[in-house]
Amino acid sequence: MKELNSLDIKILRELDRDSKATYSDIAKLVKATHDTVRYRIQKLVKDQVIFKFQTGLDWTKLGYQVYQMLLRVPAANEATLNSISDFLVGRDEVVWVAKSDGPFEIAIAVHTTSISDFSMFVDNLLGEFSNVISERVLMLNTFHEYLPRDFLTDSKRQPKKTKFFSTHPENVYELEEEDRAILLILGENSRYSASDIEKILKKRSKINLNQAQISYRIKKLLNDEIIVGSPLAIRHSKMGLLQYKVLFRFGRSDSADWEKLLQECRKLPQCVFLVKQLGAWDYEIDLEVRDAGEIRAILSKLFSKYPGVVREHLTLPIREVVKFGAHTPLNL
């Protein structure tokens, strides 16, 4: 675990609220100099505390369906798990891959524009690994909300939240080739400037855009709510944190009771994602805690306050994230 000082923590919190914030803006917020903030961020990247500066997209507006799968690989050794994760990381449809300590060993998120494309992906996965994957659980994500890591500075939950996507838009947003190229680059690093993007475009493609044109297109993508946020991805082990996915299956209680419980989850400083799902489970919350006792205490308090609302739950400890927030589905 990397020892972080109070300034590092403050910087991480501000980056988590907006990972593309300038050094100068962050310096004002944390009361430090521009050069100090730049040095600290560069060191946090070098020390692998910062995993990725993300650019969040509303994938449903682009015509994508967002799936999540849990894979049980009960008899697999680490080499087998690595083979599966390597296969998944190499697939453009897959935007997130994580290893877990059980009861499912691998969790993934997959974005496709049709059910047939998703079915083909599953066929390819099972064609390679059906002999070791004993069970798969599928959910369709219909609402995805990101909540900043206010717990980093022991702050109470602030009102800011980011809706990454929700159900079905009226019309699919048609991306121009230039916009698609820009989003692919921003998917690698939200902090890329228009100047950076201009240089990368010249190296990778025949698209010829100057900085002003790139800035205009990014602004339009923001105004049209295609780009919907820029949170931070961290390596939890480097900060002494544990990451858990908690999946809920609701009981027969009134939907108003469900919403009360979910609103309570939103107030939890440790809650960073809230996802509505269709399929095996109804909702998912992602919690980042200091130890296993903390998550037990959180869930015990939650279930005691709202008895009977959750009929069943699954707690999935995330051991390692190997792919996060990729925009690679845009390549398909």
In the predicted model, what is the mean pLDDT of the chain?
Answer: 93
pLDDT score, position 159: 59
Question: pLDDT tens-digit profile of 173-220?
Answer: 999 999 999 999 999 999 999 999 999 999 999 999 999 999 999 999
pLDDT score, position 169: 66
Q: What is the mean pLDDT of residues 80-97?
A: 97
User: Would the pLDDT of 292 be above 90?
Assistant: yes
Residue 46 pLDDT class (50, 70, 90 cuts): very high
Instruction: Give the span between the Cα atoms of 332 and 325, in whole angstroms.
Output: 16
Question: pLDDT tens-digit profile of 114-133?
Answer: 999 999 999 999 999 999 99
What is Dmax (Cα atoms) for the chain?
60
pLDDT score, position 165: 61
Nearest Cα neighbor of 288 from 263, 317, 261, 256 is 317
Residue 97 pLDDT class (50, 70, 90 cuts): very high
- pLDDT exceeding 70 applies to what percent of the chain? 95
pLDDT score, position 166: 59
Q: What is the mean pLDDT of residues 216-231?
A: 95
User: Would the pLDDT of 4 be above 80?
Assistant: yes
Q: What is the mean pLDDT of residues 78-101?
A: 96
Domains of the chain: residue spans and CATH: 6-47 (1.10.10.10), 144-158+237-318 (3.30.70.920), 174-223 (1.10.10)
Question: pLDDT tens-digit profile of 271-282?
Answer: 999 999 999 999
pLDDT score, position 3: 76
